[in-house]
Amino acid sequence: MLARNEIMPEQLLQQIVNGLLIGFMYSLIAIGLTLIWGVMNIVNFAHGEFLMIGMFASFWLFTVYGLDPLFSIPICFLLLFLMGVFIYRFIVSKVMKGPMLAQLVVTFGISIFLSNLAVYLWTPDFRLIPPTILQGTWDFGEINLSIPKTVASLGSVVTSVCLFLFLRKSKTGKAILATEMDREAALLMGINTERINSLSFGIGAALVGVAGAFLSTYYYIYPQVGGLFGLIAFSIVALGGFGSIEGAFIAGVLVGLAQTLGGFFFDPAYKYAIVFMIYLITIWIRPQGLLGW
Amino acid sequence: MKNLSPKHVTVGLAVLVLLIIFPMVVTQIFPLQIMILVFMYAMLGVAWNIMGGYAGMFSFGQAAFFGIGAYTSSFLLVTFHVNPWIGLIAGGLVAALVAAAIGYPCSNLRGHYFAIASIAFAEIVRVHFNNWTLVNAAEGISLPMLDESFINFMFHNSKVPYYYIMLAFLIIALVVCYFVATSKMGYYFRAIKESHDVAEVLGVNVVRYRLMAIMISAFLSAMAGTFYAQYVLYIDPESVMLLAVSVQIVLLSMLGGAGSVMGPVIGAAVLIPIAEVTRVWLGHKGTGVDMLIYGFLITIISVYQPQGVWGLLSRIGNKIK
Amino acid sequence: MNKAICLDVKGMTKWFGGLAANRDIDFVVEESEIVGIIGPNGAGKSTLFNCITGFYKPNSGKVSFFGRDIYRMRADKICKLGIARTFQIVQIISDMTVLENVVTGALLRFSTIGPAIDKALDILAFTGLIDKKSFLGTELTIADKKRLEVSMALATQPRLLMLDESMAGLTPVELRQIIDLIKKIRSQGMTLVIVEHVMEAVMEISDRVIVLNTGKKIMEGMPKEVCSSPDVIQAYLGDKYRVVC
């Protein structure tokens, strides 16, 4: 633990920058989760595994076809979208009317299945995509901005903004928002809420798949990587307010900052414990989160 | 909740007799080890069931209580030479207190929110134990080899005494669960599971009863933890406080039938042998096939038979009537 | 003969954000009375119930039950003191049988199951559900679910029973059954406050009627008076209508 007078302003600034960079990535991951949660009230415990699949998709596209991760983004989006829709149609939709316990457990089952499928197909080895177009760091005095991280982060922001616009401006997007706010009213307006469910699950998966593609540009890729990210996503969704896209965006950044600054001021080993603490405190003190309703 | 019928009692006694004879007939180590694990997970499932299946608090963090029990008794043994049986009770009490401390602020949480809170809690505990020098952090605690005796809760030559002890623990847990289920507490738990409003409007102090459920569940889970420590003689946060263990407990309870006394026992009896056998035959190469099948099974069961085996048997039983 | 004051509500006020769902409501209920509360949708009737019975925390006001202050008391404590209620959306325990549901209510006054079962069987005989005692909650019709909810409330041995729209969605035959049940309950000495939309029923069974509109009490009186009051008619139907009652 650093004493007060030992902290250089540059070190602090570096931590803040790092926090923002990881925060924007977290935002994108959490937005997919909050969309699924808001629309159909189901917690996707397999969300981290969708991220992992996105990362591996990007990895294999690079390794086999030489496709730079940035260009494989649309493919990852499509792939994860289809996977999400498939999983919803053939598995999740069937437990929607079932007992709460089944709804909780089914996505756990999918998560275990997917992570071990990855182990089976690709071994538990850690992999890394070597630096391609983007490499190196931008240096601003004492502050280092890793270029891959920055690009990934900006890419996440752009994707998030695209989603906002889609939800607010397009007809389908508005239908999704309507279903999220009041399912019955949406049904009465003639919105096919089953289709919206499929669509939302697909989009949620696609978003986190894209986040995976971005993440794969600098992060280790391995079957179990999803676990922690998935759990962190829950804290973010809670903080932002279940179902609130804007909330998830802001909360993602806050959690990223909390993680890096918490690790900096306290013990780095506890940085994830801090994130979980955020979930508990939010849910105790302000259950609707920052922007939830 | 139906009371025991003579038919149930007879079947129960017959099974008990078979279980008692089992180690005398089957002497290979592997089946014995599997049975011990089945009993232990069954006990954890029964403990989970009291708060989850009955009171509707679906916890995915039972491993925290299991671990707290294991760590309390082991720490007391290693540091203060406290007898493991006393450590057992101490572990249960510590777990119950921690359960109350975390349960109280979570009194309003239901469904998904409670589930995630339980995961958050268990992960915080695990991270803490991984870094707590008092309990050797990630290195874990190795239990000393004491003289073999019942008092010392240690047996070196054979696993058979462990088998009988774990079976006895399981029976204790089942008795507790049965009394809870057929008492006023059991009715109130089931009302709380339905909704807080319906419980309150009938005069139930929801906070108090939720705490009772959590504390009983934690105490029993901690007992199993002490057993595990004495059985394996080594514990560390990655083995006793893992999310995967917590999830396993929920899974087997659901498979067997949450909300029934014997459900988790059936679930453990089915799931643990499958998991162990596939792990040995298919998993040793690290290919993950065993867990793959496991995940697949869980998904299928959630979709097609969420009431579990017990639910299936009850439906068949009702049709026969 | 002076009857005891069962429920005394003064100045009940509840805000949701900028909306006053209940504004300064006063009323008194005497023992063994049946008081009906009517008013158009959104008038604040269920909010009033929730504020009195501990399910909402009101912003200000006073409530006393047989002289005992119960303002902002916890819901389960209020039930123990002797106020039972039903909900607009029926609240029963769906995984339990009819008998088990009522036993759960009866257990408030007993610590063991045996006597609670006896009490529950008595209640079910009284409310006419005894033949369906082994039905699961999920297997009941809406009318039977409502009757079960009333049975559960009665099992807690209350002195005041508050019914929130018990008659919504019933056929004429079922309606007659529940009206008769309510009369039977009152004949045992129970005090009742009922929120209702079904006008003929309210007028038939109430001793007095209170009318709410947009959170305020706009009138109180005998059923006939209330029925023909122009203010009440305007509240429900707007300005254009007059009714001959």
pLDDT tens for B246-300 read: 988 998 898 888 888 999 999 999 888 888 887 777 666 666 777 788 888 888 8
**Rounded alpha-carbon distances, angstroms, from residue A101 to B46, B224, C43:** 16, 24, 38
Half-sphere exposure at residue C223, Cβ-oriented, CA atoms within 13 angstroms: 13
According to the model, what pLDDT value does residue B294 have? 80
Contact criterion met (CB < 8 Å) for B202 and C75: no
State which residue of chain A sits closest to B126, comparing Cα positions.
Answer: A273
**Average of pLDDT values for A74-80?**
94
Residue appearing with tokens 């009652």 = C245
DSSP string, B29-84: HHHHHHHHHHHHHHHHHHHHHIIIIIT----S-HHHHHHHHHHHHHHHHHHH---H
Q: Chain centroid to CA A199: how far? A: 17
According to the model, what pLDDT value does residue C232 have? 81
The C-alpha atoms of residue B300 and residue C50 are separated, in whole angstroms, by 42
**Average of pLDDT values for A78-83?**
95
Contact criterion met (CB < 8 Å) for B198 and C112: no
Looking at the domain assignment, is residue C74 inside a domain? yes
Please report residues of B whose CB lies closer than 8 A to that of A94.
Answer: 303-304
According to the model, what pLDDT value does residue C241 have? 55
Number of Cβ within a 10 Å radius of residue B203: 23
Q: How many domains does chain C have?
A: 1
Check pLDDT > 60 for residue A206: yes
B184, B190, B194 member nearest C113 (Cβ) = B184
Task: Give the residue among C229, C166, C228 at the shortest CA–CA distance from C192.
Answer: C166
Task: Give the residue among C138, C86, C96 at the shortest CA–CA distance from C117.
Answer: C96
According to the model, what pLDDT value does residue B169 have? 96
Check pLDDT > 60 for residue C181: yes
Please report residues of B whose CB lies closer than 8 A to that of A88.
Answer: none
Q: Chain centroid to CA B243: how far? A: 13
Please report residues of B whose CB lies closer than 8 A to that of A115.
Answer: 288, 291, 295
Check pLDDT > 70 for residue A4: no
Check pLDDT > 70 for residue C244: no
H helices, E strands: number in chain B: 14, 2
Task: Point out the least confidently predicted range of A128-137, A178-187, A258-267.
Answer: A128-137
According to the model, what pLDDT value does residue C237 have? 67
Pairing of strands C60-65, C34-38: unpaired
C76, C104, C110 member nearest B200 (Cβ) = C76
Q: Judge whether C158 is closer than 8 Å to chain B, CB to CB.
A: no
Q: List the beta bridge partners of residue A146.
A: A137
Looking at the domain assignment, is residue B163 inside a domain? yes
According to the model, what pLDDT value does residue A260 have? 87
Contact criterion met (CB < 8 Å) for A101 and B306: yes
List the domain range (segments joined by +) for residue C76.
Answer: 5-90+156-237
The pairs formed by C18-23 with CB atoms below 8 angstroms and a separation of 24 or more are C19/C215, C20/C215, C21/C47, C21/C215, C22/C47, C22/C48, C22/C51, C22/C58, C22/C215, C23/C215, C23/C216
Check pLDDT > 90 for residue C114: yes
**Average of pLDDT values for A90-97?**
90
C205 CA: distance to closest CA in chain B (Å): 25
B110 CA: distance to closest CA in chain A (Å): 10
According to the model, what pLDDT value does residue B304 have? 86
State the pLDDT confidence band at C242, using cuts at 50, 70 and 90: low
Looking at the domain assignment, is residue B284 inside a domain? no
According to the model, what pLDDT value does residue A24 have? 94
Domains and CATH numbers, chain A: 10-285 (1.10.3470)
State which residue of chain A sits closest to B244, comparing Cα positions.
Answer: A112
Check pLDDT > 90 for residue A231: no
According to the model, what pLDDT value does residue A3 have? 53
Query: Could you read off the pLDDT of B87-98 as tens digits, one per residue?
Result: 999 999 999 999
Check pLDDT > 50 for residue C158: yes
Looking at the domain assignment, is residue B179 inside a domain? yes
CB C51 within 8 A of CB C12: yes
Looking at the domain assignment, is residue B280 inside a domain? no
Contact criterion met (CB < 8 Å) for C156 and B206: no
According to the model, what pLDDT value does residue A99 have? 86
Mean pLDDT over all residues of chain A?
A: 87
Residues with Cβ within 8 Å of A154's Cβ and at least 6 positions away in sequence, in order, are A24
C84, C87, C152 member nearest B197 (Cβ) = C87
Looking at the domain assignment, is residue B294 inside a domain? no
B46 CA: distance to closest CA in chain A (Å): 16
List the subunits that have 3+ CB pairs under 8 angstroms with A.
Answer: B
CB A240 within 8 A of CB A34: yes
CB A259 within 8 A of CB A274: yes
State the best of A108, A121, A125, A222 to mutate against chain B, taking most chain B CBs within 10 Å.
A108
Looking at the domain assignment, is residue C244 inside a domain? no
Looking at the domain assignment, is residue B291 inside a domain? no
Tokens of B220: 């029993």
Contact criterion met (CB < 8 Å) for B303 and A98: yes
B302 CA: distance to closest CA in chain A (Å): 5
Please report residues of B whose CB lies closer than 8 A to that of C98.
Answer: none
CB C217 within 8 A of CB C211: yes
- pLDDT above 70 as % of chain A: 97
Number of Cβ within a 10 Å radius of residue A131: 12
List the domain range (segments joined by +) for residue B68.
Answer: 29-241
The C-alpha atoms of residue A104 and residue B117 are separated, in whole angstroms, by 13
For each successive 10 residues of chain B (321 residues), what is the average pLDDT? Answer: 69 88 85 94 97 94 96 93 93 97 93 90 92 86 83 82 94 95 95 95 96 97 96 91 90 87 91 83 68 84 82 72 50
CB A183 within 8 A of CB A27: no
State the best of B187, B192, B202, B318 to mutate against chain C, taking most chain C CBs within 10 Å.
B202
Selected residues 59-88 of chain C with any CB under 8 Å from a CB in chain B: 74-76, 79-80, 84-85, 87
Backbone phi, then psi, for C13, in 5-degree steps?
A: -135, 130
According to the model, what pLDDT value does residue B1 have? 42
According to the model, what pLDDT value does residue B152 have? 79
Please report residues of A whose CB lies closer than 8 A to that of B301.
Answer: 109
Task: Point out the least confidently predicted range of A40-54, A91-105, B148-162.
Answer: B148-162
Tokens of C234: 């305007």
The ipTM, to two decimals, is: 0.91
According to the model, what pLDDT value does residue A266 have? 81
Please report residues of B whose CB lies closer than 8 A to that of A113.
Answer: 292, 295-296, 298-299
Q: Judge whether C99 is closer than 8 Å to chain B, CB to CB.
A: no
Q: List the beta bridge partners of residue C193.
A: C35, C162
According to the model, what pLDDT value does residue A293 have? 58
State the best of C107, C111, C154, C160 to mutate against chain B, taking most chain B CBs within 10 Å.
C107
Helix (H, G, I), strand (E, B) or coil at C15: strand
**Average of pLDDT values for C114-137?**
94
Q: List the beta bridge partners of residue C30.
A: C5
Looking at the domain assignment, is residue C70 inside a domain? yes
Q: List the beta bridge partners of residue C25.
A: C12
The C-alpha atoms of residue B320 and residue B251 are separated, in whole angstroms, by 28
Q: Which residue has the higher pLDDT, B313 or A94?
A: A94
Task: Point out the least confidently predicted range of A54-68, B215-229, C44-58, C224-238.
Answer: C224-238
Task: Give the residue among C8, C9, C31, C10 at the shortest CA–CA distance from C207.
Answer: C31
According to the model, what pLDDT value does residue A7 have? 61
Q: How many domains does chain B have?
A: 1
CB contacts < 8 Å between A and B, how many? 146
Check pLDDT > 90 for residue A135: no
Task: Point out the least confidently predicted range of A162-171, B237-246, C234-243.
Answer: C234-243
Helix (H, G, I), strand (E, B) or coil at C215: coil
The pairs formed by A80-83 with CB atoms below 8 angstroms and a separation of 24 or more are A80/A50, A80/A53, A80/A54, A80/A202, A80/A205, A80/A206, A80/A208, A80/A209, A80/A210, A80/A212, A81/A202, A81/A203, A81/A205, A81/A206, A81/A209, A82/A202, A83/A50, A83/A53, A83/A205, A83/A209
Q: Judge whether C139 is closer than 8 Å to chain B, CB to CB.
A: no
CATH code of the domain covering residue C82: 3.40.50.300
